[in-house]
């Protein structure tokens, strides 16, 4: 989870950081570089009746590939394993305020979730989503995802940071609420890594496969 990277004038890493390739972390487990990204891009403060946290994931795939999955507000099922279907309401051009209706797979204490796109920044690779309805207990849930280039095992990789704040439901503690939400996020981030790294392997091997076919033909 540790990383050290040179930054340009706008503050985004130039991919000189070294990542471990896997792992999530909270609080004191963050590296200095990760803490700086959180301070800069994840300015969410939990109120008295809320809890919040941030998690990180190092992915062995280049940032453009990972971002191509994360930015698809209209197709979260591309990597989120608990999403069965997603329908964007109204205009299908993604913009601030766009709404999506998410159908959740069985096994979770919910079937639907209505979510609004708060931010989609293709320059700084930041996505923010707020839940505004649904048959679940995640009231006033807001999340921010930011992606940052780094080097993982000598190859282009991506540092993903996801933070959230949410109301603590009546009858639950802050610790219980955070534990539940963090478990979902960890599952989503692991799936994002699996999908991204699988696509990265395909992109890396296809040119070799074509060269091999040319050599034996």
Whether pLDDT at 138 is above 60: yes
Mean pLDDT for 102-130 is 91
Angle at 177 between CA 175 and CA 179, to 5 degrees: 65
Q: Is 214 left (phi over 0), alpha (psi -120 to 50) or beta?
A: alpha
Whether pLDDT at 153 is above 90: no
Render the burial of 40-54: b for 16+ CB within 10 Å, e for the rest.
ebbebebeeebbbbb
Q: Who wins on pLDDT, 86 or 213?
A: 86
Distance CA 38, CA 79 (A): 23
Q: Who wins on pLDDT, 168 or 217?
A: 168
Specify the long-range contacts of residues 173-178, CB closer than 8 Å, at least 24 apart.
174/51, 175/51, 177/51, 178/51, 178/52, 178/53
Scanning the structure block, which residue is given the tokens 């207990």? 137
Question: What confidence score (pLDDT) does residue 121 get?
Answer: 97
Question: How does pLDDT run across 50-91, given as a tens digit for each residue?
Answer: 999 999 999 999 999 999 999 999 999 999 999 999 999 876
Question: What confidence score (pLDDT) does residue 107 get?
Answer: 67
What is the overall mean pLDDT for the chain?
Answer: 83
Contacts of residue 157, Cβ cutoff 8 Å, sequence gap at least 6:
19, 21, 58, 59, 60, 61, 62, 149, 150, 151
Question: What confidence score (pLDDT) does residue 199 get?
Answer: 95
Distance CA 151, CA 157 (A): 5
- Are 182 and 53 within 8 A, CB to CB? yes
Whether pLDDT at 150 is above 50: yes
Whether pLDDT at 3 is above 50: no
Contacts of residue 96, Cβ cutoff 8 Å, sequence gap at least 6:
117, 118, 119, 120
Question: How does pLDDT run across 178-208, given as a tens digit for each residue?
Answer: 999 999 999 999 999 999 999 999 876 444 3
The neighbouring-strand residues paired with 144 are: 128, 163
Q: Who wins on pLDDT, 96 or 25?
A: 96
Distance CA 34, CA 108 (A): 31
Identify how many contiguous H helices and E strands the chain contains and give both numbers: 3, 8
Whether pLDDT at 168 is above 50: yes
Distance CA 31, CA 19 (A): 10
Whether pLDDT at 134 is above 70: yes
Distance CA 211, CA 148 (A): 32
Distance CA 26, CA 175 (A): 13
């Amino acid at each position: 989870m540790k990383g050290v990277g040179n930054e340009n004038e706008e503050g985004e890493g130039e991919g000189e950081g070294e990542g471990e390739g896997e792992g999530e972390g909270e609080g004191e487990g963050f590296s200095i570089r990760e803490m700086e990204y959180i301070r800069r891009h994840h300015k969410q403060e939990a109120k008295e009746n809320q809890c919040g946290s941030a998690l990180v994931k190092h992915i062995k795939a280049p940032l453009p590939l990972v971002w191509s999955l994360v930015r698809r507000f209209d197709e979260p099922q591309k990597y989120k394993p608990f999403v069965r279907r997603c329908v964007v309401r109204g205009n299908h051009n993604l913009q601030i305020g766009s709404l999506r209706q998410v159908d959740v797979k069985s096994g979770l204490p919910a079937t639907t979730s209505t979510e609004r796109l708060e931010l989609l920044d293709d320059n700084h690779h930041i996505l923010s989503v707020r839940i505004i309805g649904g048959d679940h207990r995640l009231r006033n849930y807001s999340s921010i995802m930011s992606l940052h280039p780094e080097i993982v095992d000598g190859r282009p990789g991506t540092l993903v940071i996801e933070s959230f704040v949410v109301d603590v439901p009546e009858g639950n503690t802050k610790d219980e609420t955070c534990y539940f939400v963090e478990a979902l996020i960890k599952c989503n981030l692991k799936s994002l890594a699996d999908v991204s790294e699988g696509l990265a392997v395909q992109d890396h091997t296809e040119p070799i496969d074509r060269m091999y076919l040319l050599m034996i033909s």
